[in-house]
Amino acid sequence: MRSKYLTFLLLLILGSCGVVKKKTTYGSDRTVSVPATSLDSLQDKYEAPKPIPKIEKNDPAEDIIETAMGYSGVRYKFGGTTKKGMDCSGLLYVSFGKHDIDLPRVSNEMAEEAKKINLKNVDKGDLLFFKTSKKGKRINHVGMVVDVNGPDIRFIHATTSRGVIVSSLNEGFWNYSFVKAARVL
């Protein structure tokens, strides 16, 4: 009895494999009703795609920014110049130094050496200097401009609370603490 049952089940399974037929959603063969266009008429209508120009990377500011951005997220460490910890002037000292541009090690000396420019004229790679201490009378913080989009100036720097980050000069604290912009390139 068991063998008859298994045989019946086996026949049922094997027999049902080819029985299922797909339903079609259309009743007749499809035909194309749009006439073909000749290649010549297409060439008249459309211009051949232009090759994408290669971007030459000769801008030292872009190279320095790329180096500095490689330190994003590194924690703050007073006097630090490595990925284990870094301060604001250390970030720029190392980033410029890797491209053979010597800067002083501390922010107030950088501010003295750099050429002051109008904030309206800042560009990528320029430095922004700040006085962040309420009691301090000298520059004690520096960042490097990484993007200028109209009135929004973004800069990379190392903060004591969040490490190496990109901020906007439009942010209240940084706008209030801002002293001057300067160029070293």
More reliable by pLDDT, 17 or 114: 114
3-class secondary structure per residue, 90-117: HHHHHHHHCCCCCCCCCHHHHHHHCEEE
Q: Does pLDDT of 179 surpass 70?
A: yes
Minimal CA–CA distance to 159: which of 138, 179, 173? 173
Q: Cβ(181)–Cβ(118) under 8 Å? A: yes
Give me 38's structure tokens.
């000749």
Give me 181's structure tokens.
């912009």
Q: Cβ(92)–Cβ(82) under 8 Å? A: no
Q: Does pLDDT of 70 surpass 90?
A: yes
Q: Which of 86, 91, 157, 163 is catalytic?
A: 157
Q: Which of 61, 88, 142, 145 is catalytic?
A: 88
Can you tell me whether residue 30 is helix, strand or coil?
coil
C-alpha 172: how far from its chain's center?
Answer: 24
**Average pLDDT in the 75-101 region?**
97
What's domain 60-183's architecture? Alpha-Beta Complex (3.90)
Q: Cβ(72)–Cβ(156) under 8 Å? A: yes
Q: Please state the pTM of the whole predicted model.
A: 0.69
Instruction: Please write the tens of the pLDDT for every residue from 137-161.
Output: 899 999 999 999 999 999 999 999 9
Report the range of poorest mean pLDDT among 9-13, 60-64, 111-115, 146-150.
9-13
Q: How confident is the model at residue 55, as a pLDDT?
A: 43
Q: Which of 141, 142, 156, 163 is catalytic?
A: 141
Q: How confident is the model at residue 23, as a pLDDT?
A: 53
More reliable by pLDDT, 42 or 170: 170
Q: Domain ranges for the chain, please list them.
A: 60-183
In whole numbers, what is the pLDDT of the chain averaged over residues?
Answer: 83
Report the range of poorest mean pLDDT among 51-65, 77-91, 121-135, 165-179.
51-65
Reply yes or no on whether 88 is catalytic. yes
Q: How confident is the model at residue 1, as a pLDDT?
A: 62
Reply yes or no on whether 99 is catalytic. no
Reply yes or no on whether 141 is catalytic. yes
